[in-house]
Amino acid sequence: MTVTELVSYDEALATYDPVMGLEVHVELGTRTKMFCGCSTELGADANSQVCPTCLGLPGALPVVNASGVESAIRIGLALHCEIAEWCRFARKNYFYPDMPKNFQTSQYDEPIAFNGYLDVQLEDGEVFRVEIERAHMEEDTGKSTHVGGATGRIHGASHSLLDYNRAGIPLIEIVTKPIEGAGERAPEVAKAYVAELRELIKALGVSEARMEQGQMRCDVNLSLRPKGQKKFGTRSETKNVNSLRSVERAARFEVQRHAAVLSSGGTIVQETRHFHEEDGSTTSGRVKEEAEDYRYFPEPDLVPVAPSREWVEELRATLPEPPRERRNRLREEWGITEHEMQSVLNAGAVDLIVATIEAGADAASARKWWMGELARSANEAGVEPAALTITPADVARISALVAEGSLNDKLARQTIEGVLAGEGTPDEVVEKRGLAVVSDEGALGTAVDEAIAGNPAIADKIRGGKVAAAGALVGAVMKATRGQADAGRVKELILEKLGVEG
């Protein structure tokens, strides 16, 4: 099936109704792995963070990471799930070179959390409820690198390298119930759901959930059924989609591909598919195993997990304000529109603005600097604004200097530039670069006197009542002070000295 054979999106939706299922894997930010004490730190030498347990050596015994269980419960609670009173791990048996034990320790029919929901907000403001089937604990696999081929894929490679540092890092898999009723907005719902889930995971502090680094990845299940039919069609499962935009594109492509197959009398095979970033297409992976192919059975080496109700309630009390509610609250406090809030969110500046306000700035100026000058600098440097070397406290200090009249906007921008260039704190930059507004009344008075003496004709006009002519003298003073004067105060002084009411 090539792209040219696709049915147009609108045509597909005129005949079929999409049903989706989203499976999201989140790598937890625990210090150690799920079943051993090995470090989870990224960037270490290959195979330097391994032990008999995560390498699956005979006789090694796993132990459950309590902090991993705690994160799983907090995620479950934040998704309005019930938390199991008792549950077990299970072995999911299959062979893969990057999985040294030949089974993945996962959960099967006894997940830690189940039956929840997440409300997501669509671009038009409508709230769509996505129901959660389950959230369960499991472990990540190692990483294979195929060497010698042109594409980095196994085909054409001369050999493969295996790094088991990632094997055993805790994962939480969050699975939705079939998402029905989204119609043409199914791809948008998929994207909004993953975006909201990512915000929630970050707010919980259980993972940085960076999709581009694979800390969070999504499998997109999709099927079509003829409009009016109750029974679901056969699904495809597009694996490991790793950006919000790709989630939306993958769902959209699958709608068009399924429609093309079904409309031409074909049948959809249940299979996994790979998503291709370059053109937004998917291609066939492997025909899907049935659950029984994995020969799941309860893990005999691990004790069951039976979180006490007291512990669950303690964890419930640690839940953050839900991100969507927090965004709506901040939007009202800052007095901005949904659209403006969306820009702040997209810029990754929400928490920075909050911190700047906490450090004493008013909402308007905090937003102005982070969304203006600083967003631009971050963009140019190709980093998130949070990675800039200026702190919210610095930005608050600059706002305060502007508010008290020590800096005007132009000087404030130069101060920011200095802080970003590593010249020191805002006060140090102002001092070193000599940026403060000339507020010394004596110096300013001299500059005004000189401007009046140098422009007698204009001065006469002003004396005669043409207050508007003062602009030319203000300009002369600003020029003489190289822009470092407060224009308002300069005008006052001119009128005062010429004996005119402002």
- Give the per-residue contact string, 23-62, with Mg ion (x = CB under 5 A; - = no): x---------------------------------------
**What is the amino acid identity at position 277?**
E
Tokens read off for 145: 């690198």
Q: How far is the CB of 163 from Zn ion (least distance, A)?
A: 13
Residue 11 vs 23, nearer CB to ligand ADP: 23
CB contact at 8 A, 444 and 413? no
Q: Which of residues 315-354 bind Zn ion (CB under 5 A)?
A: none
Task: Please list, in sequence order, all residues whose beta carbon lies within 8 angstroms of the beta carbon of residue 452, skipping any fewer than 6 positions away.
Answer: 459, 473, 494, 497, 498
| Span of 164-172, 232-240, 422-430, 488-496 interacting with ligand ADP by CB under 6 A | 232-240
CB contact at 8 A, 370 and 334? no
- By DSSP bridging, strand 236-241 and strand 271-276 are parallel
DSSP 443-471: HHHHHHHHHHHH-HHHHHHHHTT-GGGHH
Alpha-carbon gap, residue 173 to 108, rounded angstroms:
11
Residue 106 vs 272, nearer CB to Zn ion: 106
Q: Does 406 bind ligand ADP (CB under 6 A)?
A: no
User: What is the signed CA dihedral for 128, 130, 131, 133, rounded to 10 degrees?
Assistant: 180
Q: How far is the CB of 219 from Mg ion (least distance, A)?
A: 5
The DSSP bridge partners found for residue 83 are 113
Alpha-carbon gap, residue 36 to 286, rounded angstroms:
32
Q: Does 36 bind Zn ion (CB under 5 A)?
A: yes
Q: Does 21 bind ligand ADP (CB under 6 A)?
A: yes
CB contact at 8 A, 294 and 287? no
Q: Does 25 bind ligand ADP (CB under 6 A)?
A: no
The footprint of ligand ADP on this chain (CB under 6 A) covers a number of residues equal to: 16
Residue 53 vs 107, nearer CB to ligand ADP: 107
Report what 36 binds from Mg ion, Zn ion, ligand ADP, none; CB cut-off 5-8 Å by kind: Zn ion
Residue 270 vs 484, nearer CB to ligand ADP: 270
Out of 54, 209, 347, 470, point to the residue binding Zn ion (CB under 5 A). Answer: 54
Kindly state the helix (H) or strand (E) to which residue 133 belongs, with its residue range: strand 127-139
Beta strands in 46-126 (DSSP E): 82-83, 90-93, 103-106, 113-121
Q: How far is the CB of 47 from Zn ion (least distance, A)?
A: 11
Q: How far is the CB of 430 from Mg ion (least distance, A)?
A: 57
Tokens read off for 241: 């989609």
Q: Does 38 bind Zn ion (CB under 5 A)?
A: yes
Out of 107, 221, 246, 282, point to the residue binding ligand ADP (CB under 6 A). Answer: 221
CB contact at 8 A, 271 and 286? yes
Kindly state the helix (H) or strand (E) to which residue 218 belongs, with its residue range: strand 216-226
In the complex, residue closest to ligand ADP by CB: 21
Q: How far is the CB of 166 from ligand ADP (least distance, A)?
A: 20
DSSP 281-325: EEEEEEEPPPGGGG--EE-TTS--B---HHHHHHHHTTPPPPHHH
Q: How far is the CB of 302 from Zn ion (least distance, A)?
A: 15
Q: Which of residues 168-187 bind ligand ADP (CB under 6 A)?
A: 175-178
Report what 177 binds from Mg ion, Zn ion, ligand ADP, none; CB cut-off 5-8 Å by kind: ligand ADP
Q: Does 237 bind ligand ADP (CB under 6 A)?
A: yes
CB contact at 8 A, 128 and 192? yes
Q: Does 19 bind ligand ADP (CB under 6 A)?
A: yes
| Span of 44-52, 60-68, 388-396, 487-495 interacting with Zn ion by CB under 5 A | 44-52
Alpha-carbon gap, residue 233 to 11, rounded angstroms:
18
| Span of 15-23, 66-74, 199-207, 378-386 interacting with Mg ion by CB under 5 A | 15-23
Positions in the binding site for ligand ADP (CB under 6 A): 19-23, 133, 175-178, 221-223, 232, 235, 237
Positions in the binding site for Zn ion (CB under 5 A): 36, 38, 51, 53-54
Positions in the binding site for Mg ion (CB under 5 A): 23
